[in-house]
Protein backbone atom coordinates (compact mmCIF):
# COMPACT_ATOMS: atom_id res chain seq x y z
CA UNK A 1 0.00 0.00 0.00
CA UNK A 2 1.27 3.48 -0.88
CA UNK A 3 0.17 6.39 1.27
CA UNK A 4 0.32 10.06 0.32
CA UNK A 5 0.38 12.32 3.36
CA UNK A 6 0.27 16.04 3.83
CA UNK A 7 -0.53 18.44 6.65
CA UNK A 8 -1.86 21.95 6.59
CA UNK A 9 -2.44 24.57 9.29
CA UNK A 10 -5.77 26.24 8.58
CA UNK A 11 -6.63 29.54 10.30
CA UNK A 12 -10.04 28.39 11.53
CA UNK A 13 -11.42 26.19 14.28
CA UNK A 14 -11.79 22.43 13.77
CA UNK A 15 -15.58 22.90 13.80
CA UNK A 16 -15.34 25.45 10.96
CA UNK A 17 -13.15 23.14 8.89
CA UNK A 18 -15.42 20.16 9.62
CA UNK A 19 -18.45 22.21 8.49
CA UNK A 20 -16.84 22.62 5.05
CA UNK A 21 -16.88 18.82 4.71
CA UNK A 22 -20.34 18.08 6.10
CA UNK A 23 -22.27 20.63 4.05
CA UNK A 24 -22.68 19.20 0.51
CA UNK A 25 -23.08 22.62 -1.14
CA UNK A 26 -19.85 23.84 0.41
CA UNK A 27 -17.99 20.58 -0.27
CA UNK A 28 -19.04 20.68 -3.93
CA UNK A 29 -17.53 24.19 -4.22
CA UNK A 30 -14.03 23.23 -3.10
CA UNK A 31 -13.52 19.48 -3.57
CA UNK A 32 -10.85 18.55 -6.09
CA UNK A 33 -7.88 20.22 -7.76
CA UNK A 34 -7.90 23.75 -9.21
CA UNK A 35 -10.36 24.15 -12.08
CA UNK A 36 -12.64 21.24 -11.13
CA UNK A 37 -16.35 21.46 -10.34
CA UNK A 38 -18.63 18.81 -8.84
CA UNK A 39 -22.13 17.45 -9.21
CA UNK A 40 -23.32 15.38 -6.25
CA UNK A 41 -25.86 12.61 -6.86
CA UNK A 42 -25.85 11.09 -3.35
CA UNK A 43 -24.33 12.56 -0.19
CA UNK A 44 -25.07 10.64 3.01
CA UNK A 45 -22.70 12.16 5.55
CA UNK A 46 -22.86 9.42 8.17
CA UNK A 47 -20.87 6.25 8.86
CA UNK A 48 -21.72 3.77 6.10
CA UNK A 49 -23.22 6.55 3.98
CA UNK A 50 -22.69 6.77 0.23
CA UNK A 51 -21.15 9.66 -1.64
CA UNK A 52 -21.69 9.45 -5.40
CA UNK A 53 -20.58 12.38 -7.51
CA UNK A 54 -18.97 13.51 -10.74
CA UNK A 55 -15.94 15.74 -10.96
CA UNK A 56 -15.87 17.94 -14.04
CA UNK A 57 -12.36 18.79 -15.15
CA UNK A 58 -11.16 21.96 -16.81
CA UNK A 59 -10.45 19.74 -19.83
CA UNK A 60 -14.22 19.17 -20.24
CA UNK A 61 -14.05 15.54 -19.09
CA UNK A 62 -16.31 14.10 -16.40
CA UNK A 63 -14.82 11.79 -13.79
CA UNK A 64 -17.37 9.62 -11.94
CA UNK A 65 -16.60 8.87 -8.29
CA UNK A 66 -18.18 6.68 -5.65
CA UNK A 67 -17.14 6.63 -2.02
CA UNK A 68 -18.41 5.52 1.36
CA UNK A 69 -18.00 7.32 4.65
CA UNK A 70 -16.32 4.72 6.86
CA UNK A 71 -16.33 6.79 10.03
CA UNK A 72 -17.03 10.34 11.10
CA UNK A 73 -16.03 11.90 14.40
CA UNK A 74 -17.42 15.46 14.43
CA UNK A 75 -14.74 18.18 14.39
CA UNK A 76 -12.02 15.51 14.58
CA UNK A 77 -11.88 12.83 11.86
CA UNK A 78 -13.44 11.74 8.57
CA UNK A 79 -12.55 8.44 6.91
CA UNK A 80 -13.65 7.97 3.30
CA UNK A 81 -13.33 4.77 1.25
CA UNK A 82 -13.13 5.34 -2.53
CA UNK A 83 -14.99 2.27 -3.81
CA UNK A 84 -14.39 2.77 -7.53
CA UNK A 85 -11.03 2.80 -9.30
CA UNK A 86 -8.54 3.77 -8.07
CA UNK A 87 -9.27 2.17 -4.69
CA UNK A 88 -8.01 4.08 -1.66
CA UNK A 89 -8.92 5.16 1.83
CA UNK A 90 -8.66 8.82 2.79
CA UNK A 91 -8.28 9.71 6.46
CA UNK A 92 -8.65 13.36 7.38
CA UNK A 93 -7.90 14.39 10.95
CA UNK A 94 -8.46 17.79 12.52
CA UNK A 95 -6.60 18.91 15.63
CA UNK A 96 -6.64 22.19 17.48
CA UNK A 97 -3.49 24.14 16.68
CA UNK A 98 -2.19 27.60 17.62
CA UNK A 99 -3.00 28.72 14.05
CA UNK A 100 -6.52 27.23 14.29
CA UNK A 101 -6.61 23.66 12.95
CA UNK A 102 -3.90 21.25 11.93
CA UNK A 103 -5.39 19.10 9.18
CA UNK A 104 -3.68 15.79 8.33
CA UNK A 105 -4.58 14.17 4.99
CA UNK A 106 -3.57 10.53 4.46
CA UNK A 107 -4.58 8.83 1.23
CA UNK A 108 -3.71 5.13 1.28
CA UNK A 109 -3.98 3.32 -2.06
CA UNK A 110 -4.71 -0.42 -2.22
CA UNK A 111 -2.36 -1.02 -5.15
CA UNK A 112 1.23 0.25 -5.06
CA UNK A 113 1.61 0.16 -8.84
CA UNK A 114 -1.51 2.29 -9.35
CA UNK A 115 -0.38 4.74 -6.66
CA UNK A 116 3.07 5.08 -8.20
CA UNK A 117 1.61 5.54 -11.69
CA UNK A 118 -0.55 8.46 -10.55
CA UNK A 119 1.80 9.88 -7.88
CA UNK A 120 2.59 12.91 -10.07
CA UNK A 121 -1.13 13.76 -10.21
CA UNK A 122 -2.13 12.87 -6.65
CA UNK A 123 0.52 14.82 -4.78
CA UNK A 124 -0.23 18.06 -6.63
CA UNK A 125 -4.00 17.48 -6.62
CA UNK A 126 -4.08 16.91 -2.85
CA UNK A 127 -2.25 20.19 -2.21
CA UNK A 128 -4.61 22.03 -4.57
CA UNK A 129 -7.58 20.44 -2.80
CA UNK A 130 -6.33 21.80 0.51
CA UNK A 131 -5.73 25.23 -1.07
CA UNK A 132 -9.38 25.25 -2.10
CA UNK A 133 -10.52 24.08 1.36
CA UNK A 134 -8.57 26.93 2.98
CA UNK A 135 -10.17 29.44 0.59
CA UNK A 136 -13.64 28.02 1.35
CA UNK A 137 -13.14 28.23 5.11
CA UNK A 138 -11.77 31.78 4.87
CA UNK A 139 -14.63 32.84 2.58
CA UNK A 140 -17.16 31.43 5.05
CA UNK A 141 -15.48 33.28 7.94
CA UNK A 142 -15.63 36.56 5.99
CA UNK A 143 -19.30 36.14 5.11
CA UNK A 144 -20.14 35.32 8.75
CA UNK A 145 -18.52 38.52 10.06
CATH assignment at residue 26: 3.30.530.20
**Domain count of the fold of the chain:** 1
Model confidence, pTM: 0.94
* Among candidate residues 93, 84, 86, 126, the one with its CA nearest the CA of residue 110: 86
Task: Answer yes or no: is pLDDT of 145 > 90.
Answer: no
> Which residues span the domain enclosing 77?
2-144
Task: Answer yes or no: is pLDDT of 31 > 80.
Answer: yes
Task: Answer yes or no: is pLDDT of 144 > 80.
Answer: no
Grouping H, G, I as helix, E, B as strand and the rest as coil, residue 126 is helix
Mean pLDDT of 42-64: 97
Amino acid sequence: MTTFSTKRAIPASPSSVFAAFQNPDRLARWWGPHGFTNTFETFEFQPGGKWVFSMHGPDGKTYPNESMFVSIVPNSEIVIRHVCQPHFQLTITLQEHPAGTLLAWEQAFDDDSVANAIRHIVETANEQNLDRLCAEVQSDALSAS
